C-alpha cells in the first residue's frame, strides 16, 4: 500500500477493539490520509494533545472513559477544542445522538456504516476545519498587526508630548508679555493657537491613558469629591471658548452631591464630554451640564441641542476611532476614554439622542469605586 504524503491530514481512530481500528486505518490510508490508532479514551486524549490530529473518529462504548466523556474533554481543552469529532458506534437511538451532540460531537455514524458516506463526511469536516484554521490564522495575524500598530502609536504619541508641551509653554510666556506687548489681534490668534494646542495635548493624554486603561494598568486615586463644584470648575475652563464660538454653557450641579472618585480622571471625562458637545453640536449650540443623586450613586449628564447622533451609532461612538455615519464626524478617542474611565470606577455611560434633536450623554458613578485587584508579583 502506498504511504500517504507527509502533509496529508492526520486522523485519529479510537476504538477499544484493535480489529476495528485496523479496518478503519486501512480504509483511510487507502484514501491518502495519515492515521494513528488509540485503544481507549485515555490513550486518545494523550495522542490528541501530543499530535493534534485533524479529525477524530471515536467509538462510544469503551471501558473507562466512554466516547462521550472523551469528546467533552477534547472540547474543554483549548489545544484540542477545534478538532472535529465523528462518533462511529453501534448505538443508533435518538437519545444516543442527542448525547453525542451535547458532548460536542460534529457527526454521528452508526455501524455498519456506508464507506462513501463516511468518506464524504470526513472530507466535509476537514474542509470546514481548514477554513476555520485559515480564519483563526488571519485573526491571529490581524491581532499581531493591531498590537504592533498600537505599540507604534504609543511610541509616537509619547514622543509628541514633550515638544507639544514646549510649544504651549512658549505660547503662554508670549501671552504673559514676556516677549513684549501684543496687539489685540495677535492676542486673539495666540489664544486660539494655545487652545488648539491644548486640544492636541488632551488627545495625546487620552491616547496614552486609553492604552493604560485597556491594559488595566491605571490605578485609581479616589477621594471624596463635591460633584457640583467639580462641574462648575470644568465648565469654567470652557466658558471663554464657548462664548467666542457663540455657544452657551450652563451648569446645574446642586451642592452636597458627593462621590468618591479619581478627581483627575473625572475632570478628563467631563472635559471630553463638554468639548465633544461644543465641537459636534454645531454653531450656537447650547450645552447643559447637570448632576443628580441616583439610586445607584450619582448621575451626571451633558446635554446639547445640536445635530444629534443616529440611534444605530449609539454604541459605535464609544469604540476607538468610532465614526458617526450621518455627518462623517469621528468621536476619536475622547468617548472611548470616557467609557473606560467610567467603567474603571464601576459605573456605566450611555447616550440618548436622535438626529436633529440634540444628544444627552449620561454616566452614573457608584458612591465608591470597586477595590483594585491585587497586582501579580
Q: DSSP of 233-294, one letter per residue?
A: HHHHHHHHHHHHTT-EEEEE--TT-EEEEEHHHHHHHHHHHHHHHHHHS-TT-EEEEEEEEE
Quote the pLDDT of residue 372: 58
Given a contact cutoff of 8 angstroms between Cβ atoms, the answer to whether 113 and 100 are in contact is no
**Is 23 part of any domain?**
yes
Residue that terminates a domain, selected from 190, 214, 238: 214
Residue with cell 505660547: 171
Whether the predicted model's global pTM rises above the 0.75 cut: no
CA–CA distances in Å: residue 80 to residues 31, 70, 156, 172:
24, 11, 40, 62
* Cα–Cα distance for residue pair 23/8, rounded to 1 Å: 19
* Cα–Cα distance for residue pair 213/205, rounded to 1 Å: 12
Quote the pLDDT of residue 77: 93
| SS3 of residue 371 by DSSP | coil
**Residue-range definition of the domain harbouring residue 229:** 222-365
Of 74, 32, 24, the C-alpha closest to 53 is 74
* Cα–Cα distance for residue pair 176/108, rounded to 1 Å: 82
The total number of structural domains that make up the chain: 3
- Segment holding 226, helix H or strand E: strand 222-226
**Is 125 part of any domain?**
no
Q: What is the pLDDT along the chain (377 residues), one digit of tens a residue?
A: 567 777 889 999 999 889 989 988 998 998 889 999 999 999 999 999 999 999 999 999 899 899 999 999 999 999 999 999 999 888 878 888 888 889 999 988 888 777 888 889 899 999 988 898 899 889 889 888 877 777 776 677 777 778 888 888 888 888 888 888 888 889 888 888 888 888 788 777 777 777 767 666 567 889 999 988 999 999 998 888 888 888 999 998 676 788 899 998 899 899 989 988 888 887 889 999 999 988 878 999 999 998 888 888 888 888 876 555 544 444 457 888 899 899 989 999 999 988 888 999 999 999 888 775 443 33
**Is 153 part of any domain?**
yes
Q: Are both 321 and 351 inside the same structural domain?
A: yes
Amino acid at each position: 500500500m502506498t504511504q500517504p504524503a507527509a502533509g496529508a491530514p492526520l486522523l485519529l481512530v479510537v476504538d477499544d477493539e484493535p480489529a476495528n481500528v485496523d479496518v478503519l486505518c486501512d480504509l483511510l490510508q487507502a484514501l491518502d490520509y495519515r492515521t494513528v490508532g488509540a485503544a481507549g479514551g485515555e490513550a486518545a486524549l494523550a495522542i490528541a494533545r501530543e499530535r493534534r490530529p485533524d479529525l477524530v473518529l471515536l467509538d462510544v462504548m469503551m471501558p473507562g472513559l466512554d466516547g462521550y466523556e472523551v469528546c467533552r474533554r477534547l472540547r474543554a481543552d483549548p489545544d484540542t477544542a477545534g478538532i472535529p469529532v465523528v462518533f462511529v458506534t453501534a448505538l443508533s437511538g435518538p437519545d444516543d445522538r442527542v448525547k453525542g451532540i451535547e458532548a460536542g460531537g460534529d457527526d454521528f455514524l452508526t455501524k455498519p456504516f456506508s464507506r462513501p458516506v463516511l468518506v464524504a463526511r470526513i472530507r466535509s469536516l476537514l474542509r470546514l476545519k481548514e477554513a476555520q484554521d485559515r480564519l483563526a490564522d488571519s485573526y491571529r495575524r490581524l491581532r499581531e498587526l493591531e498590537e504592533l500598530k498600537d505599540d507604534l502609536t504609543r511610541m509616537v504619541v509619547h514622543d509628541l508630548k514633550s515638544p507639544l508641551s514646549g510649544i504651549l509653554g512658549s505660547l503662554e510666556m508670549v501671552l504673559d508679555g514676556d516677549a513684549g506687548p501684543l496687539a489685540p489681534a495677535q492676542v486673539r490668534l495666540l489664544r486660539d493657537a494655545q487652545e488648539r494646542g491644548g486640544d492636541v495635548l488632551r488627545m495625546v493624554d487620552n491616547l496614552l491613558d486609553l492604552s493604560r486603561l485597556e491594559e488595566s494598568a491605571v490605578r485609581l486615586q479616589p477621594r471624596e469629591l463635591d460633584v457640583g463644584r467639580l462641574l462648575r470648575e470644568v465648565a469654567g475652563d470652557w466658558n471663554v471658548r464657548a462664548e467666542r464660538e457663540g455657544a452657551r454653557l450652563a451648569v446645574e450641579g446642586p451642592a452636597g452631591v458627593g462621590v468618591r472618585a479619581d478627581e483627575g480622571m473625572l475632570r478628563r471625562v467631563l472635559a471630553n464630554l463638554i468639548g465633544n458637545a461644543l465641537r459636534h453640536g454645531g454653531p450656537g449650540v447650547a450645552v447643559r451640564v447637570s448632576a443628580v443623586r441616583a439610586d445607584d450613586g450619582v448621575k451626571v449628564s451633558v446635554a446639547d441641542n445640536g445635530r444629534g447622533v443616529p440611534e444605530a451609532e449609539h454604541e459605535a461612538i464609544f469604540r476607538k476611532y468610532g465614526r458617526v455615519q450621518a455627518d462623517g464626524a469621528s468621536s476619536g478617542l475622547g468617548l472611548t476614554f470616557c467609557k473606560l474611565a467610567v467603567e474603571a470606577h464601576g459605573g456605566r455611560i450611555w447616550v440618548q439622542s436622535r438626529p436633529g434633536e440634540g444628544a444627552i450623554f449620561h454616566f452614573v458613578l457608584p458612591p465608591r469605586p470597586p477595590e483594585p485587584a491585587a497586582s501579580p508579583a
